[in-house]
Structure 1
Amino acid sequence: MASLTVFDLLAMHDFVSDLPAGWLHRLALLGKPVHHPAGTRLFREDTAAKHLWLLHSGTVSIDFHVPGRGDIQIERVGAGSVLGWSWARPPYLWRFGAAVIEDMRAVAVDASRLRELMTEAPDLGLQISERMLDVVAGRLQAARHRLIELYAYPGTPS
């Protein structure tokens, strides 16, 4: 993956691969390839949401903190997934937390610059917004299922 450009990595990611090349080039200017080893805490709830990650490999646990119980995993995401949606709406604070379970490689997109680009290019902004809505809906559904699992089977390990 080291020899691939950010544009190449975006062109291979399902979230944006079908966008026009001109838009991908503009998005590529906002991103950088990143690697985070297993055990890395990417972010916690209520901290500044500064990136959108497009995962190419690895596994990340999405969680939320429950006083007295610790971090409760609600979903695992991997290659081809999108991580982060809290950057898209004020107050730009993470609604969940995330930790790397298996070494992760991704494109990290600067959220502030992405919001600016979405304003400058409304057609692109609409495409990104619609896709992010799908991500949000999926995360909320996963949280719902996890809460049902926890309440229906209180002894389920976190």
Structure 2
Amino acid sequence: MIALDDLKKIEFFADLTDEELLSLQEICREETHRAGEFIFIEDTPAEHLYVLKNGKISVEIKVTGGTHLSVLTVSQFAEPFGWSAIVEPFRFTASARCVEDSTIISVDSRRLMGLIRMDYRMGFLIMRRVAKVVSERVKNTRLQLIHSFYG
């Protein structure tokens, strides 16, 4: 089980009350993955939301010829990834591969969605954080596209 103090340090959950964090704590687990290992694969069912504890993760998309293109590096403590697990159609839009040995916090998305359905305040706060993450990633992608076309 993840320590409550560890959950309190995660910005993604910063607005939650201690009671909400205790509910969340029950559906989280810590995982370790080796460098080169995939945590999830693009276009597969998204059953967990992830938060980086330590290490480095490459978020990659499939391109022609079966190769993968890294579109994002997750390397900061408490950085979330795998948000597709709580947004329909609940399928990963990219793959996540460990660049180095990594420790992550895995949140069971079905159980999280159950908590969100029971506690609208918690749901609003979490989905607001998801919207912020998605917005930042769209902005970064836009900047990458501009840079690739205009140097």
TM-score, normalised on structure 2?
Answer: 0.90
**Residue 51 of structure 1, aligned match among 48, 71, 86:** 48
SS at match of 1:114: helix
Measure, in 2, the Cα distance between the counterparts of 1:152 and 1:42: 34
**How is 1:139-150 mapped onto 2 (pairs within 5 angstroms)?**
139-150=137-148
Q: Quick check: 1:9–1:107 contact (8 Å CA) kept in 2?
A: no
Establish whether residue 36 from structure 1 lines up as the match of residue 28 from structure 2: no
SS at match of 1:76: strand
Measure, in 2, the Cα distance between the counterparts of 1:52 and 1:127: 15
- In structure 2, relative to structure 1, the CA distance for the partners of 1:69 and 1:147 (3 Å cut) is farther
**What is the root-mean-square deviation of aligned Cα atoms in Å?**
1.8
- TM-superposed deviation, 1:55: 1.0
- TM-superposed deviation, 1:7: 2.0
Q: Percent identity?
A: 29
Measure, in 1, the Cα distance between the counterparts of 2:3 and 2:96: 23
Consecutive unaligned residues of structure 2, counting only runs of 5 or more, are: none
Consecutive unaligned residues of structure 1, counting only runs of 5 or more, are: 154-158
Establish whether residue 85 from structure 1 lines up as the match of residue 80 from structure 2: no
Measure, in 1, the Cα distance between the counterparts of 2:49 and 2:104: 10
- TM-superposed deviation, 1:142: 2.6
- In structure 2, relative to structure 1, the CA distance for the partners of 1:150 and 1:72 (3 Å cut) is farther
How far does the alpha carbon of each residue in 1:94-127 deviate from its partner, in whole angstroms, 9 at most, with x for none? 1111111122112100011101110110000000
**How is 1:1-158 mapped onto 2 (pairs within 5 angstroms)?**
5-68=2-65, 70-78=67-75, 79-152=77-150
Measure, in 2, the Cα distance between the counterparts of 1:69 and 1:107: 29
The AA in structure 1 aligned to 2:21 is L
- In structure 2, relative to structure 1, the CA distance for the partners of 1:36 and 1:118 (3 Å cut) is same
The AA in structure 2 aligned to 1:142 is N
Measure, in 1, the Cα distance between the counterparts of 2:133 and 2:113: 17
SS at match of 1:15: helix
Which is helix-richer, 1 or 2?
Answer: 2
Other-structure match for 1:156: none
Task: Count the aligned residue pairs.
Answer: 150
Measure, in 1, the Cα distance between the counterparts of 2:145 and 2:41: 19
